[in-house]
Amino acid sequence: MSMGKALVVAGVALAAYGAGDAGMAPRTAMAQAAEMRSTTIAQAPAARATGSTALADPGAPRPSAGDDAASYRAMAADIGKAAGIEYRYGPGPAAYGTTGNGGLPTWSKRADHGFVSDRQGGKRGCDPAFCGTWQVGTWSNEVGDFASNVGHVAYIPDSPSQRLGVAGLGISSSSNEVFSQRPELMWVYYGGGLDEISALAYRRAGTPIGNPVGVARCEGRPGWCMNSLMVFDNGFIGFAQSNTSTNKASARLAPGKVPTAAAVTNSNEFALISVWDTVNLRGEVAVVALAGLCEGCTPAKPASPASWWGEWQGLYPGLPNLGNTAYMKVLGYVPLPADMKAPTGISVTTGVNRTAYLPAGVPGRESTFDLPLNKAGNRATFRTGGRNFNTYAKGGVAVVVSKSEQKVAFLDLRPLFAYYQSMYFGSDADYSVTTSVGPADSQ
């Protein structure tokens, strides 16, 4: 069965910071972050420098004008369908008279060679039909050193009753002295993965998940951050898994909030989701606090006796972690400027170099595992002048775009980061309040 129409991965160049004050409550911090102006692309030199001079086709539907609530809500209802892809990313090649790759330059494809199952004399414990392929190198039957990279893709399924619309793929791998560079289903799932494993578990548990809008994950911790945030058109959000990072966490946006895109900060501190508010007819950004834990750890039992994972030994949503998300909470919604009602994309960065973070599970090196924050002395190491002050992000910038409105908005994340860090790393009383985790507004 074909997967259906694929969602395009849209990148947005970052351009500028706004202004904000530190030391305020989460919702106040988010409101401060929203005190911005949107600007048309034609007026944004930094955006022009990236080549982003036109975000929309002149004939793109414009339910964003606000004077046609029915059109706005109708387009929102199509965000997770083929029409939604065209609205956000433009029409497919056929609309321009292109149906193939004829006349285009191509690069030769390397031949595929199959890995050998242990059932056929090899040493990979795979189903012979789903052992995977390699393209570079000279085969050795000895496994040797090995590594792999995992990714997740979202697509509009031809038959939503049969397919979920999110798949888990092996992106690249090395073993047996050869290298695989072809994205394909991972051999460890014995043919599974076209329906992403965690998403399938959510659905089987009775969770209505809808059609996917997109996937996003933290990109600032190479070797970690394997689990993608999956965002669905009915407001359900949950984390996908890899074969070695299987923690689960999910939440749901408030009724009437339709997500259109998502981004995750560099070390999985927060997820930001662009939203259409179909009740109030306005654009917003949902802010979600994320907490990563060691593999198999849960919010009820966040600690592990083993240090190799190198993760916090407590549940700390909003602090840097390794991306094996075990808890999330929707903090609230930042209203976008009044002339930006239909956001279609979002990107974010904290600007922290990957080498700045405390290492994870490196023998002889201090990690967050060694620094339980219930001890005042450990918290002090993260404050100004402490040895770990430079190991985490102090702010960031998110860029929100609206294709049909030709607008870009910038969100300064410094107030949000500053508030969380002041509470986690401050007094015993502040720490105690902040680590009372739960669904209530006061938690």
Average pLDDT rounded to a whole number, residues 22-50: 37
Separation CA 276–CA 64 (nearest Å): 10
Q: pTM here?
A: 0.86
What is the sign, positive or negative, of the torsion defined by CA atoms of 221, 222, 227, 232? Answer: positive
| 76 part of a folded domain | yes
Average pLDDT rounded to a whole number, residues 62-67: 53
CB 365 within 8 A of CB 359: yes
Which structure tokens are listed for 100? 């193939």
pLDDT at 223 over 90: no
Q: What local confidence, expressed as pLDDT, does residue 63 receive? A: 61
| 310 part of a folded domain | yes
Average pLDDT rounded to a whole number, residues 275-294: 97
The region of weakest confidence among 2-16, 122-136, 196-210 is: 2-16
Separation CA 432–CA 10 (nearest Å): 40
Per-residue confidence band for 432, with pLDDT thresholds at 50, 70 and 90: very high
pLDDT at 214 over 80: yes
Separation CA 254–CA 438 (nearest Å): 17
| 10 part of a folded domain | no
Separation CA 260–CA 413 (nearest Å): 20
Separation CA 352–CA 390 (nearest Å): 9
Rg (the chain; Cα; Å): 23
Q: Would you say how long the chain is, in residues?
A: 443
Per-residue confidence band for 47, with pLDDT thresholds at 50, 70 and 90: very low
Per-residue confidence band for 300, with pLDDT thresholds at 50, 70 and 90: very high
Partners of 232 in the β-ladder: 212
| 250 part of a folded domain | yes
pLDDT digits (tens, 9 = 90+) for 258-276: 999 999 999 999 999 999 9
Containing domain of residue 288, as a range? Answer: 66-88+207-435
Q: What is the tally of structural domains in the chain?
A: 1
| 101 part of a folded domain | no
The region of weakest confidence among 298-312, 372-386, 423-437 is: 298-312
CB 56 within 8 A of CB 436: no
HEC letters along the chain: CCCCEECCCCCCCCCCCCCCCCCCCHHHHHHHHCCCCCEEHHHCHHHHHCCCCCCCCCCCCCHHHCCCHHHHHHHHHCCCCHHHHHHHHCCCHHHHCCCCCCCCCCCCCCCCEECCEHHHCCCECCCHHHCCEECEECCCCCCCCCEEEEEEEEEECCCCCCCCCEEEEEEEEEECCEEECCCECCHHHCCCCCCCHHHHHHHHCCCCCCCEEEEECCCCCCCCCCCCEEEECCCEEEECCCCCCCCCCEEECCCCEEEEEEEECCCCCEEEEEEEECCCCEEEEEEEEEEECCCCCECCECCCCCCCCCCCCCCCCCCCCCCCEEEEEEEEEEECCCCCCCCCEEEEECCCCCCCCCCCCCCCCCCHHHCCCCCHHHHHCCCCCCCCHHHCCCCCEEEEEECCCCEEEEEECHHHHHHHHHHHCCCHHHHHHHCCCCCCCCC
| 146 part of a folded domain | no
pLDDT at 342 over 60: yes
Average pLDDT rounded to a whole number, residues 367-374: 96
- Do the strands 133-134 and 407-412 form a parallel or antiparallel pair, or are they unpaired? unpaired
Q: What local confidence, expressed as pLDDT, does residue 62 receive? A: 59
| 130 part of a folded domain | no
Per-residue confidence band for 29, with pLDDT thresholds at 50, 70 and 90: very low
| 330 part of a folded domain | yes
